[in-house]
Amino acid sequence: EDQVTQSPEALRLQEGESSSLNCSYTVSGLRGLFWYRQDPGKGPEFLFTLYSAGEEKEKERLKATLTKKESFLHITAPKPEDSATYLCAVQANSNYQLIWGAGTKLIIKP
């Protein structure tokens, strides 16, 4: 069964303290892995799509990487405005619908 697991469930960091969020997946043929950010009361906002192991993408303080079994979202020198829930989703070759992880709630304290 296709599955996505995100860890940790919640992460509290001081402003400027770098860290990583994890997204482990089990899927029968990965078509793509997606990272989204969701703020309270809003819909998810697209961040990255990764397609193959070894691929990396960056946007401001965020960098996403992909291996054959997991993806990491690295956040460097975070600011309070980076506080949000970060969601990971995978799309399998066999079924185009997105399978979502439960998310990691990131809190950055000033």
Partner 1 sequence: KAGVTQTPRYLIKTRGQQVTLSCSPISGHRSVSWYQQTPGQGLQFLFEYFSETQRNKGNFPGRFSGRQFSNSRSEMNVSTLELGDSALYLCASSPGQLLTNTEAFFGQGTRLTVV
Binding site for partner 1 (CB under 8 A): 31-32, 36, 41-46, 49, 51, 87, 89, 91, 95-103
Closest CA to 57 of 32, 80, 84, 81: 32
Q: Which residue has the tokens 């304290």?
A: 109
Tell me the closest approach of the beta carbon of residue 25 to partner 1, in angstroms.
Answer: 14
CA distance linking residue 92 with residue 41, whole number of Å: 29
Q: Which is nearer to partner 1, 46 or 81 (CB)?
A: 46
Helices (H), the chain: none
Q: Which is nearer to partner 1, 24 or 49 (CB)?
A: 49
Q: Which is nearer to partner 1, 13 or 32 (CB)?
A: 32
Closest CA to 34 of 91, 75, 85, 83: 91
Tell me the closest approach of the beta carbon of residue 84 to partner 1, in angstroms.
Answer: 13
